[in-house]
Every structure is written in C-alpha cells, then in structure tokens.
Chains A and B, each alone.
Chain A
Amino acid sequence: MSMNPFCEIAVEEALRLRESKAVDEVVAVSLGPQQVQETLRTALAMGADRAIHVSTEQQLEPLAVAKLLAALARREQPLLCLLGKQAIDGDNNQTGQMLAGLLSWPQATFASKVELDKAASSAKVTREVDGGLETLSCQLPAVITTDLRLNEPRYATLPNIMKAKKKPIAKLTPQELGVDVTQQLVTLQVEEPAQRKGGVVLGSVAELVEKLHKEAKVI
C-alpha cells in the first residue's frame, strides 16, 4: 500500500484543488504490474474520482513513463498533470520534466505552493530551489511536480476506503497507447562506495598540501 511520498503529496494537492473548485475531477494514474492497483486504491480512498492503470510487466524507465503519460494526457485532456518530483526508489527526478517536454507544456517543478487561476487559465507556483524560493507563473495546461513542503497528505477515512471499491479503475496497455516501452538503458555496473578508511595524523601544513596534491588529487 505504500504510495511514493511525493506522489501522495501530488494526490493531496489535486484533491485540494478540486475542493476549492479549481478543477472538477481528480484522476489517479499509475503504471506497472497488477500490484499498482493497490496504490491506485489508496488514491481513490483518499478521494480521487477514478483511476487509470497502465498495465505492463516491463520495467519502466522515466522516458517510457513520460511517453505513456503524454499519450494519456492527449486522450484525457487534463488541465494539470501533478506528479511527485521523484520516486524514492529511483530518485531520477526526470519524468515530470520529460512529460512537459513531450507535450510542449509549461513545467513548474519542486512546487512548495500552487495557486490556480481558473478564469485566467494560469497557475502561480512557488518552487524550492537551491537559492531559496522562486515563483513562476504559467499558462494551463501545465505539468507541476511536488516537493515535500507543498502539503501534508490526508489520511484516507474508513468510509472512503469502502467507497473506493466502487470507483472505476480503467486498464490500458502501452500497445493501446501506441508507446514502445522497451528499455533503452543498460546497467553496466553497481558498486558500493569505497569503505571509509581511517584518517592520518600529519606533521605539518606542507605535508598536508603534498597529500592533497599527490594522493587526494584535489589541488
């Protein structure tokens, strides 16, 4: 039942947008094998209206996910695609950005605040960047990816968990969406970082400089 935490924040933000009437419907989407349905049920239990499961046993890379989501977006014509900024297993931080690129939509990533202006069909998004906070304005439809401080996701409620059973989960395949999801990346090698070795007590600054130059090669 564990939904990627950033995705959970995205679901929560979508629900809040619906509650404030900025959007009419929240559709939860996930991609992968049958287990993915559990995550979709969690989204439905939180309050999403319906769900779409893109079913495949294939290991999906960010570009493949972005292509599938783009194909879906062309079908569903949403106002907004809300994604978590990254998945905590891969930590790729690519899908949202690639999706925006494929659709030629504006993107606002690492959102810590989202304000939708339905009338003006635009969004104002505050982003957490290294230097601080940056606020962007963009036209809709757009892609927004969520960061940790955007909101605190709600718990599902017991009645909603029971109601989720009745909400539809549509099932599609990559073939039906016309997307080739063959892996394009090959993992060549995986290794642990080198074990941390003990330090050395040095006699002088000159010795330190020599070691930094000759051994650590940092100067």
Chain B
Amino acid sequence: MLLQQVARGCCQLKQLAAPASLGSTWRHLTAHTYPGELSGGIHLTEEQLGMQALAHDFAREQMLPHAAQWDEQKIFPVEVMREAAKLGFAGLYVPEEYGGSGLGRLDGSLIFEGLSYGDISTAAYLTIHNMVAYVVNKFGSQALKEQHLPQLASLDKLASYCLTEPGSGSDAASLATAAVPVEGGWLLSGSKAFISGAGASDVYLVMARCQGQMLSQQEVDAAAAEGASGSGAGSTVGGGSSSTNGAGGSGSGAITAFLVEKEWPGVSFGASERKMGWRSQPTGTVNLDKVFVPAANMLGQQGSGFRIAMHALDGGRINIAACSVGGAAYCLDYAWQYTSERQQFGQPIGSFQATQFKLADMATGLEASRAMVRGAAVALDEQSPRATLAAAMAKRFATDTCYNVANDALQLLGGYGYLMDHPVERYCRDLRVHSILEGTNEIMRLIIHRQLQRLDYHHLV
C-alpha cells in the first residue's frame, strides 16, 4: 500500500492526509489540522471550528473507510447516515424544537466541506435531504412540520427534491407535472427525472403545475352539475392562462410545491440510473399517476412553488459547492502525500518545479473556491440582496475549479491515478456532476448576469 501506517512515535508530524488505511481505533493518534481551518477571509467561531472538526472526523473515520465499497457496490449507506443524523447532520436548518440543529448556512457549508472529504456522494445526498427539510420548515404548515420534521432530522425519514423532468431541466419553469384540483386536495400526474434518492426516500418535494384553483365541496358539486348538463366547462374553475392566480398557464406562476409520500397510491419509481459517479445514491425517475395529495401537503401558497424551488436552490448550490471544496481538499492532500513519496529520476516527483507549480495552482484554486463558498453562505445567512448572485458565482466557480483540482490530482498520480486502488478517480467521477446539477454552470452564468443587471453592478464587482 502506498501510504504508510503512521507509527505512534511519528504522531507529532502534522500529517496533511489522514491515510485511508487507519481505522477508528487510531483516531487522533495522528495530529492533524483540518483543511480550511485557517482559510482566509472569514474568522470562524470556536463552535464553528468544533463543527468543522466533528464533520471532518466523522467523514474520515466513518465514511472514508467504506466509500469505495459503497461506490463499487452501489450501497446507499442509510445506517451510517443515521449515525450522522444522531450528531445533528440531517436537520441542520431545522429548529431545535423539532429535533434539528438550528444552524446557519456558514455552519452548513463547513459541515458539508468536512463530510465530503470522506465521501462526496453521501455528503451530497445529505445536502439534498437538508434542503427539503429546510423547505418543509420554512413553508409548511404547523401540522405538516410536526408530522415530518422530527423524523427528517433523525433521518428516520429520507427526503428527495423533485423539480427536473425528462422534458425540463435547465428550463425548469416549463415543467409539465400537473396538479388537478379535486375535493380536499390535488391529483398529481407526471414524471420527475434524475431524482437523488428516488425509491429510497420516504418524502418527495414535488413541484407541479396547478390546473386551476383549489376546489371546495360546493365547487365540486357545481362543476359536476355543469358537466352533467353538457356545458362542457369541465371541472376546472378560474383556469386560463393568467399566472397571477396560481392556476394553469405556461409560466412559472402556476407552479406549486407539494410534499408527496412514497406509499401513496400512484407513486412509482423507474429503475435506478447507472451513473458515472454519485453511485452510493440511488438516482431515478419518480412517476406520479393521479396521486392524491391533500391540501395540507401544499407548501407555501398555490403558485409560489417556483420561487420556493429557486430559493431552496440558493442554499443547495452553496452546499454542493461546499461538497466540491471538501472533495478537492482530499484529492490535494492525497496528491501532496503521493508526490512526496513517488520517486522518479532519483528523487521524489514533488521536488520538480512542474509538480510544485501544479500543487500551488491546485491549492490556490481550492482556497479561492472555499472563500467564495463561505462568502456566499454568509450572504445567505445575512439575507443579503446579493445572496443569489453570490451563490451562483460560488457554485459556478467552485464546482469547475474543484473538479480540475481532482483531475490534476489524478494526473499527478500518473497510472496509479487511473486505478480504483486509489480513491482520486472516484472523487473525480463524483465531482464531475457538480457542474451539472442544481442548475448547470451555464444557467449559473445566466443567473449571474441577470443578477448583475438587476442589482447595482458597480456595488458588486
């Protein structure tokens, strides 16, 4: 094995990479610093340093030793995630009264940076789960919150976020899943694609297009009577293309957010996708065939679903970018260790300037990414008007840069980088999708430009 077991006597050396071969019995017997502890720009509180250390330790000890197996055998590590939930990682933005951790976005970004050091795929799923819990807390009724939040915080229930469809990815507002009003609720029909956790999750946050207003019993009877007398008005009331009343229409104004439960009749799942990375998560299609969703399961107002979805993504993007940073940090550490040991031409390859320059650029890119992610997290915590801009910039920059860091690490490992014996290739495969999901980096550029136009350009850049 390339990396040596660290003997107790050597523990005073600050190891940059915690060798993957050490098990939890040797926890802390290597003195290590945490990546990003001293990252420039944002001074972390003692509590935040503690959270960072906790996430990092948990990732190194409980996730990293198993990540290769989870990836190769497509194991969704629910038990380990439940252990993480016991530490508070599944309800980060859920208030303590519901069993959550009641933390902010900067705290969250530190935690996901730490967790993704050990396993990007699992950490990324937790970001999605947390995003849905956040939406339920912010936009759900009291009853809905009491029903779901404690179990989401403990990870007794898993959650998925369903916006994308086979026909609408970047053009999310053109989604076609329909919500037809019926007595007491809605019938949802349509398909959602690329859903992380599909089939495994217990609750699904679904964005659907309302085909009319919510009906009361009177309206149902009236419509039925009308239908029977042949006026052909159908059962929709107040439909049409107006987007202001949250009904019908082709724009985003009719989109509404619903919480759908896995066991409800009409819910089914497609086969799990075979993916390049994120293989420890099941990803697939969620099919809804006239699924009855009670009115109580609407989140926010009718017609506010698109805004809710986009607002959730601001946080989600910061967290995905944080996962990129954490994963890239591991790759940098790994490559640093490797280049100090691998000898060619009579010396460690780390002594060649080309290697040193490459490592320097990788570290610089990583540091810049980390600073942008944390800066965006602070902006979101402060509810700054530039939060959306900052999140889009951070996501665009960090996901691309950190993928390159991982790819450069793979190159530094040479042939060994290509083998699954070393974890860097898995980090590359996992990181590749971060430039695509939660809004492609192309869409990020659209958002950035639009935000720059909307806000005062000169105050921002």
**Which residues of chain A have a CB within 8 Å of any CB of chain B?**
1-5, 8, 38, 41-42, 45, 88-89, 148, 152-153, 155-159, 161-162, 164-165
| Residue in chain B with minimal CB distance to A38 | B46
- Inter-chain CA distance A146–B267, complex, in Å, is 54
Cβ contact within 8 Å between A161 and B51: yes
Cβ contact within 8 Å between A159 and B46: no
Instruction: Tell me whether A1 and B29 are in contact in the complex, defined as CB-CB below 8 angstroms, given that A88-B11, A155-B57, A157-B86 are known contacts.
Output: no
Partner of A158 from the list B12, B24, B27, B88 (CB cut-off 8 Å) is: B88
Cβ contact within 8 Å between A158 and B51: yes
Q: Which of A159, A161, A165 has the most CB of B within 10 A?
A: A161
Residues of B near A3 (CB, < 8 A) are 28
Q: List 26 A-B contacts (CB under 8 A).
A: A1-B34, A1-B49, A1-B50, A1-B53, A2-B32, A5-B28, A38-B46, A88-B29, A148-B25, A152-B24, A155-B54, A155-B87, A156-B54, A157-B86, A157-B87, A157-B88, A158-B87, A158-B92, A159-B96, A159-B101, A161-B47, A161-B50, A161-B54, A164-B47, A164-B50, A165-B46
Cβ contact within 8 Å between A158 and B101: yes
- Inter-chain CA distance A144–B31, complex, in Å, is 25
Residues of A near B125 (CB, < 8 A) are none
- Inter-chain CA distance A159–B86, complex, in Å, is 10
Q: How far is the CB of B23 from chain A (nearest CB, A)?
A: 11
Q: How far is the CB of B62 from chain A (nearest CB, A)?
A: 9
Cβ contact within 8 Å between B28 and A42: no
Partner of B89 from the list A1, A158, A162, A164 (CB cut-off 8 Å) is: A158
Q: How far is the CB of B165 from chain A (nearest CB, A)?
A: 35
Cβ contact within 8 Å between B12 and A89: yes
- Inter-chain CA distance A164–B58, complex, in Å, is 19
- Report, as a range, how many residues of chain B touch the other chain: 20 to 34
Q: How far is the CB of A142 from chain B (nearest CB, A)?
A: 26
- Inter-chain CA distance A153–B57, complex, in Å, is 12
**Which residues of chain B have a CB within 8 Å of any CB of chain A?**
8, 11-12, 24-25, 27-29, 31-32, 34, 46-47, 49-51, 53-54, 57-58, 86-89, 92, 96, 101-103, 111
Q: How far is the CB of B457 from chain A (nearest CB, A)?
A: 39
Cβ contact within 8 Å between B28 and A158: no
Residues of B near A164 (CB, < 8 A) are 47, 50
Residues of B near A2 (CB, < 8 A) are 28, 31-32
Q: Which of B88, B92, B96 has the most CB of A within 10 A?
A: B88
| Residue in chain B with minimal CB distance to A158 | B88
Q: How far is the CB of A154 from chain B (nearest CB, A)?
A: 9
- Inter-chain CA distance A5–B338, complex, in Å, is 27
Instruction: Tell me whether A158 and B8 are in contact in the complex, defined as CB-CB below 8 angstroms, given that A5-B29, A148-B25 are known contacts.
Output: no
Q: How far is the CB of A89 from chain B (nearest CB, A)?
A: 7
- Inter-chain CA distance A8–B28, complex, in Å, is 10
Cβ contact within 8 Å between A5 and B46: no
- Inter-chain CA distance A75–B140, complex, in Å, is 53
- Inter-chain CA distance A159–B50, complex, in Å, is 11
- Inter-chain CA distance A121–B70, complex, in Å, is 49
Q: How far is the CB of B186 from chain A (nearest CB, A)?
A: 36
Q: A88-B11, A158-B88 are in contact. List 17 more A-B contacts (CB 8 A).
A: A2-B28, A8-B28, A38-B46, A41-B46, A42-B50, A42-B53, A88-B29, A89-B12, A148-B25, A153-B27, A155-B58, A155-B87, A157-B88, A158-B92, A159-B96, A161-B47, A162-B101
- Inter-chain CA distance A162–B27, complex, in Å, is 23
- Inter-chain CA distance A148–B25, complex, in Å, is 8
| Residue in chain A with minimal CB distance to B29 | A5
